[in-house]
Chains A and B, each alone.
Chain A
Amino acid sequence: MPTIDIKKKDLEKLVGKKLTISRLEDSLTLAKAELKEYNTGTDELKVELSDSNRPDLWSVEGIARQIRGHLAGKPASYPFFATKKKPVRKIKVSRDMKEVRPYIAACAALGLRMNEESLVQMIQSQDKLSDIFGRKRRMVSIGIYELDRIVFPVDYRLAEPEEVSFTPLGMDERMNLKEILERHPKGITYGPVVGAFKKYPVLIDSHRQVLSFPPIINSRETGEVKTGTKNILVEVTGTDLRMVLLAINILSVNLYDRGAGIEHVLISYPYSTDLGNKIITPHSMLEPVKISIKEITKTLGEDMPPREIRKHLESYGHKVSIRKDSLFVHYPPYRDDIMHPVDTIEDVAISKGYGSFKPEMPQRSTLGGLSRIELFSDLIRDFMVGSGFQEIVSNVLGSSEELIEWMGVDEKLIEIENIMSRSYSVVRNRILPFLLKVEASSSKAFYPHRIFEIGEVGVYDPSENLGSKTGLNLGSLISHSEVSFSEIHSYLDLLFYYTGFSYRLEPAEHPIFMSGRCGNIIVEGRPLGLIGEISPVILDRWQISMPCSAFEINLDSLIL
């Protein structure tokens, strides 16, 4: 979720209206945005955007556009998308780009009055788009240039690592592409995006001037935009045509909102794309969506006349026509998140205001209940508590040290591949280690200790589709200076008596327990757990200096 910094005055200028902070907070909900901070001294607002599918909102221009539309009750108009004027500027894509970074889109923005704030905002939206929407420039990256220094047509082609050189932004010396990847900070950060290829993408104009090395860095000569710059070229390259086109559309409407005139650029491909091999960008690729009025009113649970629905949609940026019992919605070219009529229906609800809907209760009743295993587990919990045991709640994740080495066992655990911390790198396969963990940190709590936990465990099982089984286990432990096998056995015996299971103990040897003081718990012929006095070898590893007796049984196989 992107967070952006904007100036309140700048936002108000773009909205065309002054806003109090509480009014602003309300308006921000239109953009699913939340005000995180407001610094009255610097006039700075920190705004968090929650809709990862609406990159058009990740800029002050985008937020302002959504608010402005709502105030005006009609969508903003971007006539340049519909222009019939033939583009005067052209970018030629070379054949070898197809395998590396096949798509490019561009536009020229003329007559800007670039001041410090609009420059900062332009760079911020460029960063957010290429970083989050563009997946750290892998799928989309953006370059901005001083238009008047470029001689068209521009070539988008591959170059050998040492074939061309230029002075990249942030450097004083000329570097070739190989050197940029090795030494330039941006080359080091974003190098992996193209590093696997033998040749790298470049933009070169007809005077053989290198404009940039997409997606890494621009040239200082052509690619440095300053305050006061009037005319710029914006270019987007990437691996997905729809994403590239959406990005240039968003950037062009942002610039238009700042007062620039937008002119198209012709992109000519030697290979075919979904839109043919000549694409004029920015490109409005959208067709109207037909939505039945009944679907809208049914989903919202609110009867609304079609004209009211149209009004809400228009305030939210859509162009709408009503035909019989359906709406034809032309959604704006800076949005590509509308996949299904429900997306448009949400726009109606947001535009009308969530607070204006009266909450209603579903009338038909349903039967509530707990699952069998939960009911059974509650029964056992009550039994254990009634027997004087304190319930414990542990984490499900632990370390293999705790679950394997300190328990003296050799078992396969469910391990995490991308571990964050060693302490939480495996899923527990039994509860006992976590009860010992409690003992190891509770020697100061007065004795006797009687503790238990009923909780989920993950047991490796290659015969299962998911490679493991999630089980529900009961682990129980007693610790005091005279604890014995028979004491813990008494509780287990009563537990089985009370729940009506017949069981027997089969003498067993197990590393967790003392030799000759351990048993397999057999219920209806199946081994369901272990009971015994914890071996001093194990207690010593956990640095527990009080004897412990314990049992652990699997509850779900007991009742399933």
Chain B
Amino acid sequence: MILESLHPLEIKLLQSFRDKEVLASKEIIDKGLMDGSRLDMASNWLIKKGLIEISGEDITSSVSLTETGKDYYENNIPELRILSALHEGKSLTVKDISQTFHLDPLEVSSALGLLKESGVTQIVQGGLIEFKSGGDANRFESLQDIIRFIGEKGIADLNLLSNEQREIIEVHCRKRGKSKGIFRISEKKNRIFSLTESGKTILSALPERGETGKEVSQLTPEMLKEGTWRNITFRKYNISLNPPRISIGKKHPYREFLDFVKYKFVAMGFEEVRGPLIENEFWNMDVLYMPQFHPARDIHDVYLIKEPSHCKEIEKPFGNRVAETHTNGGNTGSKGWRYPFDLKRAKRLILRSQGTTISARTLASKPKIPGKYFSIARCFRYDTVDATHAPDFYQIEGIVLGEEINFKTLLGLLRLLGEEIAMVKEFRFLPAYFPFTEPSVELHGKHPKLGWIELGGAGIFRPEVTIPLGVKEPVIAWGLGLDRMAMVALGINDIRDLFSKDLDFIRTKKTGFKG
């Protein structure tokens, strides 16, 4: 298993242990078997696989010249250049130096400073530089000697230099942030690798497998064209490694859930319908026989639109019919709510607060009989946004109309929705209250994870709703609350996460529906 997945570099490194069970990294590099970075990779892999181990480690510090150092190697350090010019009898001013020797002002001022400090030169009137007796220029010569020594070798082991020399080097060493160093010190780890027992086994098995370290990794178009692949051995991969991450296109997990619901409804013979986000109170409430003084119509339950605040008109003949139904029941056989209906109030624009609004509009547009309709509607409620309340949310609701509709088919249909959409097998039907249905029922189901939960509400539309809209047949109205189920399916605890803005979260969320 290990044998088959070895990388060519690993094989190459293992092969070098054939003569010697202990090898230093310096030796491997010096022999030209592998360069430092490849050795690091290959040795780390083999260590992880337990084929070799580190049995010792020492650090070698070596010194080389920086670009500035190389310049000084060729042209001497600034201090010596100034001194030799003075020796030649040239008269130099501070200004001249920088131009004559192509040195930058910082180097010049540092050199003059050091010369003055050593008492070799002095600056007299007019910026003229003159020799001064009694000074000691040895330190500059010693520095130049070291530069020369290293310059000739290219790289020198720091340990081979005297203490005095090391001190000088450290002073002139390139340090972080300072570009003008002369020397560069680099530390190199020399690791001692030794073959482990399993390393020995693998090594002895290598020739039998014919693994030479010359196996090729990539099959190329050229190999295919030229047929050279026939003579090439391809490396076997370690396929248990984690693949790199890639970015792909996919549907949003919440939309996937809603798509699932959508396809189920279509399969059950439901037609999809839509409606406007911005509604008037008429279609959102009045048509649904919610009296204008109903507590759920309070300013604290519905979002009102600022401008325009009212729609232009209520569709005829529905406006008058609904007004009459509220006032005295109209021709619906009802006593009505018995209050003066305010048509202006009906025109008030709001954000749709319930999906049933779309059902009302569907009823008013000559629906098929028998017919089944559903919508997945964004709705808005005046609520503080928290873990259980999103500022806007989806309601799944619809209607079923036809001569066959009665209380028993209402229960049958609800059970079907529970089985197909909520995938629940045990049900309870409880009496409920909705202003627009009578009888009304709540569907509770036994969810495998949540226990008994309310799945939705339904009922037979009151005649006060259907007759003014021109529908004489009984109509089932139902609505399902599936947010909690979607959250469980997607492993989400906060409803706001259904609308997450975090791309990483959306990308990594697993699909909640495997069909």
Using a CB–CB cutoff of 8 Å, the interface residues on chain A facing chain B are 29-30, 32, 50-54, 132, 135, 139, 242, 298-302, 339-343, 345-346, 349-350, 354-355, 357-371, 373-374, 378, 381, 384-397, 414-421, 423-424, 427, 434, 437-442, 444-451, 456, 458, 462, 465-470
Question: Does the CB pair A32–B433 fall under 8 Å?
Answer: yes
Question: Does the CB pair B349–A349 fall under 8 Å?
Answer: no
Pick from A342, A386, A420, A423: contact of B462, CB below 8 A: A342
In angstroms, Cα B277 to Cα A408, docked, is: 25
Provide the residues of chain A in CB contact with B405, threshold 8 Å.
Answer: 362
Closest 10 CB pairs of A and B: A301-B406, A442-B503, A301-B408, A346-B439, A359-B411, A359-B412, A467-B308, A51-B433, A340-B334, A424-B391
Q: Is B114 an interface residue (CB 8 A)?
A: no
Question: Does the CB pair B408–A360 fall under 8 Å?
Answer: yes
21 contacts between A and B (CB under 8 A): A300-B406, A340-B333, A342-B438, A361-B409, A365-B269, A368-B266, A371-B274, A389-B249, A392-B252, A395-B390, A415-B307, A416-B306, A418-B300, A437-B501, A444-B504, A447-B247, A449-B247, A465-B313, A467-B305, A467-B307, A470-B278
In angstroms, Cα B351 to Cα A379, docked, is: 29
In angstroms, Cα B433 to Cα A513, docked, is: 52
> In the complex, how many angstroms separate the beta carbon of B178 from the nearest chain A beta carbon?
31
Question: Does the CB pair B303–A416 fall under 8 Å?
Answer: yes
Provide the residues of chain B in CB contact with A388, threshold 8 Å.
Answer: 247-249
Pick from A32, A421, A441: contact of B502, CB below 8 A: A441
- In the complex, which range does the number of interface residues on chain B fall in? 35 or more
Provide the residues of chain B in CB contact with A396, threshold 8 Å.
Answer: 277, 378, 380, 392
Interface residues of B in 451-475 (CB under 8 A from A): 460, 462-464, 474
Provide the residues of chain A in CB contact with B414, threshold 8 Å.
Answer: 359
Q: Is B428 an interface residue (CB 8 A)?
A: yes
Provide the residues of chain B in CB contact with A381, threshold 8 Å.
Answer: 251, 255
> In the complex, how many angstroms separate the beta carbon of A244 from the nearest chain B beta carbon?
14
In angstroms, Cα B268 to Cα A363, docked, is: 12
In angstroms, Cα B503 to Cα A364, docked, is: 46
Stretch at the interface among B4-12, B60-68, B191-199, B365-373: B365-373
Provide the residues of chain A in CB contact with B271, threshold 8 Å.
Answer: 366-369, 371
Interface residues of B in 427-456 (CB under 8 A from A): 428-433, 435, 438-441
In angstroms, Cα B349 to Cα A466, docked, is: 7
In angstroms, Cα B140 to Cα A283, docked, is: 122
Question: Does the CB pair B501–A420 fall under 8 Å?
Answer: no
Pick from A339, A371, A451, A469: contact of B337, CB below 8 A: A339
Kindly name the residue among B245, B308, B431, B506 whose own CB sees the greatest number of chain A CB atoms within 10 A.
B431
In angstroms, Cα B297 to Cα A52, docked, is: 13
Provide the residues of chain B in CB contact with A397, threshold 8 Å.
Answer: 380, 391-392
Pick from A30, A51, A414, A439: contact of B305, CB below 8 A: A414
Q: Is B299 an interface residue (CB 8 A)?
A: yes
Question: Does the CB pair B406–A298 fall under 8 Å?
Answer: yes
Provide the residues of chain B in CB contact with A389, threshold 8 Å.
Answer: 249
Residue of B nearest to A457 (CB): B277
Residue of A nearest to B256 (CB): A391
Provide the residues of chain B in CB contact with A364, threshold 8 Å.
Answer: 370, 402, 404
Kindly name the residue among B329, B335, B435 whose own CB sees the greatest number of chain A CB atoms within 10 A.
B335
Provide the residues of chain A in CB contact with B382, threshold 8 Å.
Answer: 418, 420
Given contacts A393-B254, A446-B245, A467-B278, contact A362 B400 (CB under 8 A): yes
**13 further A-B pairs in the complex, CB-CB below 8 A; given A349-B439, A362-B405:** A30-B431, A52-B295, A301-B408, A340-B462, A366-B270, A368-B266, A394-B501, A396-B392, A445-B503, A449-B503, A450-B249, A466-B311, A470-B277
Pick from A345, A370, A387, A440: contact of B272, CB below 8 A: A370
Given contacts A340-B335, A360-B409, A362-B413, contact A427 B272 (CB under 8 A): no
Chain B window 258-272, contacts with chain A (Cβ cutoff 8 Å), 1 for yes, 0 for no: 010010011111111
Question: Does the CB pair A465–B311 fall under 8 Å?
Answer: yes
In angstroms, Cα B415 to Cα A301, docked, is: 16
In angstroms, Cα B410 to Cα A301, docked, is: 10
Using a CB–CB cutoff of 8 Å, the interface residues on chain B facing chain A are 245, 247-252, 254-255, 259, 262, 265-280, 293-296, 299-300, 303-309, 311-313, 329, 332-338, 349, 351, 368, 370-372, 378, 380, 382-385, 390-392, 400, 402, 404-409, 411-416, 428-433, 435, 438-441, 460, 462-464, 474, 498-499, 501-504, 506-507
Provide the residues of chain B in CB contact with A462, threshold 8 Å.
Answer: 308
Question: Does the CB pair B250–A362 fall under 8 Å?
Answer: no
Question: Does the CB pair B336–A339 fall under 8 Å?
Answer: yes
In angstroms, Cα B248 to Cα A386, docked, is: 9
Residue of B nearest to A340 (CB): B334
A-B pairs under 8 A by CB, number: 280
Pick from B334, B433, B503, B507: contact of A50, CB below 8 A: B433
Given contacts A364-B404, A366-B371, contact A427 B278 (CB under 8 A): yes
Residue of A nearest to B302 (CB): A418
Question: Does the CB pair A456–B378 fall under 8 Å?
Answer: yes
> In the complex, how many angstroms separate the beta carbon of A548 from the nearest chain B beta carbon?
13
> In the complex, how many angstroms separate the beta carbon of A191 from the nearest chain B beta carbon?
19
In angstroms, Cα B409 to Cα A363, docked, is: 9
In angstroms, Cα B437 to Cα A50, docked, is: 14
Question: Does the CB pair A339–B255 fall under 8 Å?
Answer: no
In angstroms, Cα B402 to Cα A450, docked, is: 47
Question: Does the CB pair A386–B499 fall under 8 Å?
Answer: no
> In the complex, how many angstroms separate the beta carbon of A448 from the nearest chain B beta carbon?
6
Question: Does the CB pair B433–A468 fall under 8 Å?
Answer: no
In angstroms, Cα B372 to Cα A391, docked, is: 30
Provide the residues of chain B in CB contact with A354, threshold 8 Å.
Answer: 411, 429-431, 441
In angstroms, Cα B499 to Cα A395, docked, is: 6
In angstroms, Cα B246 to Cα A525, docked, is: 40
Question: Does the CB pair B411–A357 fall under 8 Å?
Answer: yes
Pick from A32, A340, A360: contact of B411, CB below 8 A: A360
Provide the residues of chain B in CB contact with A32, threshold 8 Å.
Answer: 430-433
Question: Does the CB pair B438–A368 fall under 8 Å?
Answer: no
> In the complex, how many angstroms separate the beta carbon of B299 from the nearest chain A beta carbon?
6
Residue of B nearest to A452 (CB): B249
Residue of B nearest to A439 (CB): B503
Question: Does the CB pair B406–A465 fall under 8 Å?
Answer: no
Question: Does the CB pair B279–A385 fall under 8 Å?
Answer: no
Pick from A387, A449, A466: contact of B280, CB below 8 A: A466
Provide the residues of chain B in CB contact with A374, threshold 8 Å.
Answer: 262, 272, 274
Question: Does the CB pair A50–B432 fall under 8 Å?
Answer: yes
Question: Does the CB pair A340–B332 fall under 8 Å?
Answer: yes
Given contacts A385-B249, A462-B308, contact A345 B439 (CB under 8 A): yes
Question: Does the CB pair B303–A470 fall under 8 Å?
Answer: no
Provide the residues of chain A in CB contact with B371, threshold 8 Å.
Answer: 366
Provide the residues of chain B in CB contact with A367, threshold 8 Å.
Answer: 269, 271
> In the complex, how many angstroms separate the beta carbon of B279 from the nearest chain A beta carbon?
7
> In the complex, how many angstroms separate the beta carbon of B475 from the nearest chain A beta carbon?
12
Question: Does the CB pair A393–B499 fall under 8 Å?
Answer: yes
Question: Does the CB pair A355–B272 fall under 8 Å?
Answer: no
> In the complex, how many angstroms separate the beta carbon of A473 from the nearest chain B beta carbon?
13
In angstroms, Cα B248 to Cα A184, docked, is: 66
Question: Does the CB pair B429–A427 fall under 8 Å?
Answer: no
Provide the residues of chain A in CB contact with B248, threshold 8 Å.
Answer: 388, 390
> In the complex, how many angstroms separate the beta carbon of B365 from the nearest chain A beta carbon?
13
Pick from B278, B412, B438: contact of A360, CB below 8 A: B412
Given contacts A362-B370, A388-B248, A397-B392, contact A355 B409 (CB under 8 A): no
> In the complex, how many angstroms separate the beta carbon of A100 from the nearest chain B beta carbon?
19
Given contacts A394-B501, A448-B247, contact A29 B278 (CB under 8 A): no
Provide the residues of chain B in CB contact with A139, threshold 8 Å.
Answer: 293
Provide the residues of chain A in CB contact with B267, threshold 8 Å.
Answer: 368
Pick from B250, B251, B266: contact of A369, CB below 8 A: B266
Given contacts A414-B278, A458-B278, contact A302 B433 (CB under 8 A): no
> In the complex, how many angstroms separate the beta carbon of A462 from the nearest chain B beta carbon?
7
Question: Does the CB pair B433–A53 fall under 8 Å?
Answer: yes
In angstroms, Cα B503 to Cα A394, docked, is: 12
In angstroms, Cα B277 to Cα A358, docked, is: 38
Kindly name the residue among A340, A350, A445 whose own CB sees the greatest number of chain B CB atoms within 10 A.
A340
